[in-house]
Chain A
Amino acid sequence: MEAATENAASSTASQKYYFCLANADFMLNDENNEHFPEVLRERRRFYRETNKDQDFWVVPNPAFLDAMPDVAKKVRQPCVAVVTTDEVWNNFVKLRLDRVYKGCVEGTAEECLAMKSPIAADAFPAPDTSKWTAPYAKYAPGWWEAFYPGNENA
């Protein structure tokens, strides 16, 4: 899948990308992490209202892990990273989610935002209705696709 982004790709310069890496089921599907799409949607709304270019993305199975075999073997597969050029915000993601590997990678947007394979909307089993006790439905599967690199205007 083409990883070049409309905004970040405007620069072919190398820069630092900070990330929080986690198991995909934990980050994208855990009922206790339903706050996380809310954080991302809020931030995106704020960036649009203040005319800031988006500098954070959800990158499933990031390609940059090929260069970090020791890290790759520490995370249950499939995995996903929240990637950003804002180091301070990356620390916030760690604070909020806790069970994430926090790291940094340097390179071009094309290199650092490349995904080896996406996480399909139906990647996780439907919630067991006998165990889902919330008075509302789960967020629609695939909510994360809006935050893939290249989908900034989706």
Chain B
Amino acid sequence: MASQTISMSATARVAARASLRSSRDTSRIARLPKSAARRAASSARLAVRAAGAAVDQETGIKKMREGIKEAADENLLTPRFYTTDFDEMEQLFSTEINPNLDEAELVAILQEFREDFNQKHFVRNDSFKKAADGITGESRRIFIEFLERSCTAEFSGFLLYKELGRRLKKTAPVCAEIFTLMSRDEARHAGFLNKAMSDFNLALDLGFLTKNRQYTFFKPKFIIYATYLSEKIGYWRYISIYRHLQENPNDQLYPLFQYFENWCQDENRHGDFFTACLKARPEFINDWEAKLWARFFCLSVYVTMYLNDHSRTEFYESIGLDTTQFNMHVIHQTNKTTAQIFPQVIDTYNPKFKEYLDNLRDINVKLSKAQSPMEKAPLIAGFAANLLGVALMKPVDSGSIDFVEDVNSPAFMY
């Protein structure tokens, strides 16, 4: 889950409300992982914070203890940790309950994961530490924050996939093995990033994050939409950074980016698995409600990424990218890829779309500087108006040709 960008609280709130309504309708309380259940049961949010935090001399970064970075505060745009209704996930993919489930493409993607193309890929060398020592001052702080966000996002994918692999093992063995193998990939990615942080004399306490992070509940179908987009956009982000740096080696700040070509193939394959899930359960993509949710998730992901990246434009500039160009390219390509499975997508080539994004970015900057509620209120209203503007744009109908085309019609051509 390279780009855990589905983090706007509005997204989680709306989807969670829909999830809980459905859950309540079926008179079932979702089973949460123990840590999340314990957290959910408490009426007050625990203020878990290490006492007497030290501070990194050069960058001002707070430490939980020596060598361990204090986790960034959660806010609207930070990577999320997810949990889901595991019983419903079993219902969906159990081969006993669904004897006619078409597993051909699930088996195909499972074979790709079993090959383990990247088994020998994530090996560090001496150039890492040397490069890290050369990143100083503000650039160092920005880079560490990039590593932390990326590591947290990969780690959250690891937790979710590992749990799904464990829960589905008896009833949906193909899907269970796929989730387990995807968690292998995410663990490698997270481990590689955490080792990178050690070059900056810091690391994340991933065990601490597991126990103390807020978990967002999503129904299985939303997990599939969300993680599909997260993986595909991760592919386009990483391959774009990699190819840009291959052509501009002087911008190569740190050797991590040289691994992005192989890395992003993992993300792309993960996305393919969720494509196969949606094709195996076409009720998730074949009605008007699916169209609305598909556009909603696309909107959330693209807006979140655009705002996040522009709020850290110095990072992208430090590796020679134009933040806006990079974002628009990634959005266009992710949207085209997504159009191969989601029933509707946003018309990202409509010039109004970018106007709305730029307005949202500008308002976001002002919001981050606003002090009083009176100052914030009109900005929030403007933000909502621009989001609504995107939501009301005429969408593009889309989907797999297996579902939206009559491939036997004389008019259809490959």
Chain A residues in the interface with B (C-beta under 8 A):
21-23, 26, 31-32, 34-35, 38-39, 42-43, 45-46, 49, 74-76, 79, 88-89, 91-92, 94-96, 98-101, 133-137
Q: Does B358 contact A (CB under 8 A)?
A: no
Query: What residues of chain B lie closer than 8 Å to A101, measured between beta carbons?
Result: 407, 414
Which residues 373-404 in B have Cβ within 8 Å of A in the complex? 400-402
13 contacts between A and B (CB under 8 A): A21-B414, A38-B265, A46-B115, A88-B111, A89-B111, A92-B111, A94-B108, A95-B105, A95-B279, A99-B414, A133-B328, A134-B243, A134-B333
Q: Are A136 and B243 neighbours in the complex by a CB distance under 8 Å?
A: yes
- List 7 additional contacts besides A42-B262, A88-B111, A91-B105; criterion CB under 8 Å: A89-B108, A92-B105, A94-B108, A95-B105, A133-B329, A134-B333, A136-B240
- The answer to whether the Cβ of B340 comes within 8 Å of any Cβ in the partner chain is yes
**Closest chain B residue, CB of each to CB of A97:** B340
Pick from A95, A99, A134: contact of B401, CB below 8 A: A99
List of B residues within 8 angstroms of A34 by Cβ: 239
Q: Which residue of A lies closest to B268 (CB)?
A: A35
Q: Closest CB of chain B to A28's CB: distance in Å?
A: 14
A76 and B413 contacting across the interface, CB-CB below 8 Å: yes
Query: What number of A-B contacts does a CB cutoff of 8 Å give?
Result: 93
User: Does B104 lie within 8 Å of A91, measured CB to CB?
Assistant: yes
B340 adjacent to A98 (CB under 8 Å): yes
Q: What residues of A have a CB within 8 angstroms of the CB of B340 in the complex?
A: 98-99
Query: Any chain A CB within 8 A of the CB of B337?
Result: yes
A135 is contacted by which of B117, B279, B329 (Cβ under 8 Å)?
Answer: B329
Q: Which of chain B's residues has its CB closest to A136's CB?
A: B243
**B272 A38 Cβ-Cβ under 8 A:** no
Query: Is there a chain A Cβ closer than 8 Å to B326's Cβ?
Result: yes
Is B62 interfacial (CB 8 A cutoff)? no
Give the docked Cα–Cα distance between A88 and B332 (Å): 30
Interface residues of B in 318-373 (CB under 8 A from A): 321-322, 325-326, 328-329, 332-333, 336-337, 340-341
Is B107 positioned at the interface, with any CB of A under 8 Å from its CB? yes
Chain B positions near chain A (C-beta within 8 angstroms):
104-105, 107-109, 111-112, 115, 117, 120, 235, 239-240, 243-244, 246-247, 261-262, 265, 268, 272, 275-276, 279, 321-322, 325-326, 328-329, 332-333, 336-337, 340-341, 400-402, 407, 412-414
Once the chains bind, are A35 and B107 in contact (CB under 8 Å)?
Answer: no
For B336, what are the chain A residues with a Cβ–Cβ distance below 8 Å? Answer: 32
| Cα–Cα, bound, A35→B400 (Å) | 18
Contact B107 A32 (CB under 8 A): no
CB pair A88 B261 closer than 8 Å: no
How far is A29 from B326 in the complex, measured between Cα atoms in Å? Answer: 21
Q: Give bound CA distance, A66 to B272, whole Å.
A: 33
Q: Are B247 and A96 neighbours in the complex by a CB distance under 8 Å? A: no
B185 to chain A, nearest CB (A): 14
Inter-chain contacts of A92 with B (CB < 8 A): 105, 108-109, 111-112, 272
Q: Are B244 and A135 in contact (CB under 8 A)?
A: yes
The answer to whether B414 and A23 touch across the interface, beta carbons within 8 angstroms, is yes
The distance in angstroms between the C-alpha atoms of A3 and B175, with both chains bound, is 39
Give the most central of A49, A94, A136: most B CB within 10 Å: A136
A131 to B140, CA, bound (A): 35
| Contact pick for A98, options B120, B244, B333, B400, CB 8 Å | B400
Nearest CB of chain B from residue A12's CB, rounded to whole Å:
28
A74 touches B117 (CB 8 A): no
* B413–A133 CB distance below 8 A: no
Given A91-B108, A95-B108, verify A133-B414 contact (CB < 8 Å): no
CB pair B108 A88 closer than 8 Å: yes
For B414, give its contact among A43, A74, A134 (CB under 8 Å).
A74
